[in-house]
Structure 1
Amino acid sequence: MWTRPGKLTVTFLAAAAAGGWLSSVGCGGVDNASTDSEEAAQTAKKPKFPVDAPCTLCVADGDCASGVCAQFQGDTFCAAKCTSSSNCKADETCSSATSTHGKAEKVCVPSTDVCGTSPTPPSGGTGPVGDFGSITGHVDQGGGSLSRLQFAVVGDTRPPTINDTRGYPSATIRQIYTDITAMNVPFVVTSGDYIFSTGNGTQATPQFDLYIAARNLYPGPVFPALGNHECDGNVTSNCGAGAKTGVTANYTAFLSKMLAPIGQTNPYYSIDVNAQDASWTAKFVFVAANAWSPAQDAWLRKVLAKPTTYTFIVRHEPSQAATAPGVKPSEQIMAQYPYTLAIVGHTHTYGKTGPRQVTIGNGGAPLVSGSNFGFGLVNQRPDKAIEVDVIDLASGKADTAFRFALNPDGSPAP
């Protein structure tokens, strides 16, 4: 069992600023004039799409022929402004949405969830996390061994507005990692989207620095997955040498800031965590759907072919976000091998979004309506099933309406 620490306060923020790490990326570290011009130059080069094309993906307003780039149904899409549903098509509703510039807008949104799967946040009772006993052992950047498997999941921590480093959700991320520390969780996996910066702009590094400063409140290892915002922001983007999007500033910063400290050079990798008494083995497979390549395809087949008791696949986009270059091919490979659970983010809420898929994307990015900030917690039970919880950040308790359990082969457990 654990005792939840007190909430972080503005006093902490002031102290952090006085300590100097905030000032390096605060007012002095953000050149809004330059980033605005960079964004305008980038979007001016992009093709214009008709605003009535359904589910047209965008990163900024300049990607759209008219209307705005707004956040709904789990991603950002071009949408026409409206004052009432009479301004919209028959299959659309005039709804409130947040633009990628952080403004509340009334836009025409498809009446059904045709653009993607947005899980409905569970509601109901909250309660304590299951107490399955203390844990001994150690995990570092190279993996490790434990007496019982336990880890946390943090997803989608980017700011709401492109290039808005001042608006980075540092306080939320700090509280998440403070609570994970209080629970003595051995290690953390993260599902991508740590930044919201123009692909070749200047704000990736300062935003990563803010994330790392918050993450460093937790003493254990953190293993990150690549998100679409670590490429150029578009779900369809594909980064890396020779890939269509190429090597962007965002991608370079992700490799140097997030992967180099844990000894990884590729955006895809795996980590082994095994039982101290050799009674079980586990591998964590990090798929980079926005840096897909033939080399990653061959690697994924090889690593999934390695037999382990548990296999956890961490990828930013869920199976439903099939326009990401690596989603369909990785799903086809996954179908050929046993695995326990796919852990994804991308949609800023949480939910069980497939028989063996959980979405946890409520780590600080703008939330889907009805969601709360929080993080996931996975515990191995005495019967070797894994139990999945989401911890609500406001209450510090698990959402018992969400809780589910799977056997090592991914089948439902009682």
Structure 2
Amino acid sequence: MRSPSLLVAYALSTSVCGLALPLEARQDTDDATCTAEALTPDTWKSLDIDTFMNDWTAYNITPTEKNNIQTLSASFGAPNFFCGLDSFCNAGQPCLPIDLPAWYLMVAIQNWNNYMNSLNTAITFASSIMGLKLPSIVNDFYPKPKDDITPLKNIVRMFSTVLSVVPFTGQVATVASGASSGLSFLSTQMTPPEAPDLYMSWSNVASSLGEVVTQYQASVSDSIQRTIDAQVNTTGGINEIVAGGNFLGVTQNFTQADLQETVLSVIETFSIGLTLQAQKIFIYRDSYSGDTECRTPYLGGWTEYCVMDAGGGGPVYYFLLKSDGDSNAEPQLDAADLMVNKYGLTQSQFMEIPTHCYDQNNKQQLAFPFDNALPLSATTPCVFNLLVCDASDRADINKGIVDWCRNDQGLDI
């Protein structure tokens, strides 16, 4: 049973309607002093809701086999608080029916439930966004696709990117603001589809998207039910999830268009890179320390790019190439033209920046240093990614590009 002194302390610190009694919270609906403070994490911290919820559950909750969140709400006088997938539990107004400070806790749980349902909806939105965009990218860059090349986990990463902008409360994240705090939540509370040994079906995009939707929505469903049934004050219970107050706020609706505005550019850029990777298109990097300026491009189109080395080492050249099946390297004129003139990518974005990814990740080819989701800026190194081959030294000048890259540098081209 709670101690009277502890209850009084909570009552005084939060301007509640009356004392929070063990096993039953007061329902003082006519008390004019029952006014909530701003729904923010700062309020949660200033009122020390973490301590309140942990002490309350320790003294007043008898765990059950299922639906322990409802057991918690019933202890505050709200037995009809049922959360779940496609269910929307409502904490009501302060003291109607739940007294302060318990009301803050139940608002946070309400928002968690809304967030989980929003994730479930966002998975469908993500499939629609990619279903509208990917077929045209395949048609442009990979008209004769193979379906056993690109691991399906890359498509899972695009789904996770869409989910990363769904907020706990407030507005959808933007490119400027970065991914919401939901990204870390996704990595700890849910298991994204792993899709082991599965590949993207470029010839039937809809089937691959449907596979990921099914698996991801099952993960959401499992996560929400597991939390509802867990003892509230144990690992994985609702106390742990809402601790700190990140779910205390005002929720806002969002549309597919809201998500698409934030994620379309990065998903489009990442997808183009995947289609080129599948065809073993690569970047060849060469430098000439004796030159003082970039020469006039001789390959034509947008397949050659030059920048002066910032350290004074002379010009550095980048070429977008593909093996012709033998030992010759062919410039990828059509792909480069599409990227520049249709999709708005810069030469630096698809030839120079992938080499930064390669250099920054200890010369690892096709590195993906982002955990489960992409960053929201399409120009971040490693978003658009291709194999990188550095030119041989001048002692090997008689060796062809493809032979050098394939046999000496080990590229699968």
TM range (shorter): under 0.3
TM-score (norm 2): 0.24
More helix by percentage: 2
Higher Cα Rg, which structure: 2
TM-score (norm 1): 0.24
More strand by percentage: 1
